[in-house]
Amino acid sequence: MSQRYTLKNKVGINGLGAGVWNLGPGGDPFGGPTREAIPVLDRLPMLAEAGMSFYEAHDHEIPAEDAPRAVKIAKANGLKCAMYTPSFFADPIFKDGGMTNNDAAIRKTALENAKRAVDTTVVLGAKTMVFWNGREGFDFMLAKNGRDAFKRLVEGFNKVGQYAKEKYGSKIRFALEPKPNEPRANMYLANVGEVLYLISRLDENVQPLFGVNPETAHSRIAGLDYVWDIELCLEAGKLFHIHLNAQDGQRYDQDLPFGYTEPLKDLALLVVLQDAKYKEIICFDVKAPRTDEQKNIADILHVSSKNLIWLWERALAVDRKKIEQFRAEKRATALAGYLAGCLYGK
Ligand code: 3MF
Ligand code: MG
């Protein structure tokens, strides 16, 4: 069995995870694939080989009918499913959203897909189903009634939550993944605050099943601070899942290797996760870049994992008492210097 990356003294579930889509063929909106597409199920052994303990997939990548085969392959490779997610962005039928679509028939299809995804999540043995807001949003003014769209989200999540609860009790939890834009100009559930507000509007009996899956790049695209986004989720008791990566400023979604662009902020993030005793799985959402060759497609997972392990160990060594002291002395700049010293090994 291949070597797996783990985090020293991590509370709860150890081992790292990544999405099968992370090992894609390298297409972008301006050009087709630069590598041959690897069949999705063949990517499972590759994830294991790259040191992952968990995989993640969408329903268009591992549809219900392929799930039993995925279970077998995963088992043979010592891999578990971290989360499964219905895609409301790939199929043209959802071009104007699933749950917030103005067309009631499409909303119904979205709900059916979501329920089927709950069943497949159970078959794959994952405890978490993620909803990313993909095409839930708008490009043109008044193309949707925003208040109705919000109510439709509440209604849709209530129904999916109810379905899961009746069938599986509290076995499956839902993590909503915010993103401010791309592919839509404006996306509903743009940030962690919006997601938490939506959860607060869900029926009381399903509300405990819903939490957040914050992604580093999505906060940074919005110009928001990811560490604070994580702290807010923790404070709400809603950090159900996590997608780590990096982002080079406010531009298109890059899904860069974790730890690459803002290591000091990532160090602070890990201090926060350690102090909160975060026990859920840590997953990457990183994209093998268009310019990497097929034989090196897993480089992004190794770079992300090593950066995470190095920063995690540096974070363990950060003296929490010193942080308290700098706070008490009102020396924020000196604290910044101390953290930089921790980062650079000084
Ligand atoms: C897009 C994403 C998505 C979600 C995925 C799981 C393709 O920016 O981050 O990845 O993570 O749909 O919900
Ligand atoms: Mg993501």
Q: Rg of the chain over CA atoms, in angstroms?
A: 20
End-to-end CA distance of the chain: 37
Please report whether residue 339 resides in a domain: no
Residues 47, 23: contact at Cβ < 8 Å?
A: yes
Instruction: Provide the residue range defining the domain that includes 249.
Output: 16-317
Amino acid occupying residue 293: E
Closest Cα to atom 3, ligand 1: which residue? 132
Please report whether residue 25 resides in a domain: yes
Nearest to 301 by CA among 32, 60, 19: 19
Q: What is the length of the chain?
A: 346
Please report whether residue 3 resides in a domain: no
C-alpha 313 – ligand 2 centre gap (Å): 25
Please report whether residue 55 resides in a domain: yes
Distance CA 279, CA 218 (A): 22
Whole-Å CA distances, 317 to 14, 264, 289, 292, 345: 19, 14, 33, 34, 10
> How much is the pTM?
0.97
Please report whether residue 322 resides in a domain: no
Mutate to test the pocket of ligand 1, among 84, 121, 176, 177 (most ligand atoms within 8 A of CB): 177
Nearest to 75 by CA among 53, 59, 96: 53
CATH at 42: 3.20.20.150
Distance CA 291, CA 151 (A): 42
- Output the tens digit of pLDDT for each of the chain's 346 residues: 789 999 999 999 999 999 999 999 999 999 999 999 999 999 999 999 999 999 999 999 999 999 999 999 999 999 999 999 999 999 999 999 999 999 999 999 999 999 999 999 999 999 999 999 999 999 999 999 999 999 999 999 999 999 999 999 999 999 999 999 999 999 999 999 999 999 999 999 999 999 999 999 999 999 999 999 999 999 999 999 999 999 999 999 999 999 999 999 999 999 999 999 999 999 999 999 999 999 999 999 999 999 999 999 999 999 999 999 999 999 999 999 999 999 999 9
Distance CA 322, CA 118 (A): 46
Closest Cα to atom 10, ligand 1: which residue? 285
Pairing type for strands 186-187 and 137-138 reads antiparallel
Please report whether residue 326 resides in a domain: no
Closest Cα to atom 7, ligand 1: which residue? 21
Name the domain count of the chain: 1
Nearest to 282 by CA among 126, 82, 27: 82
Please report whether residue 11 resides in a domain: no
Please report whether residue 66 resides in a domain: yes
Pick the atom of ligand 1 nearest to 132's CA: 13
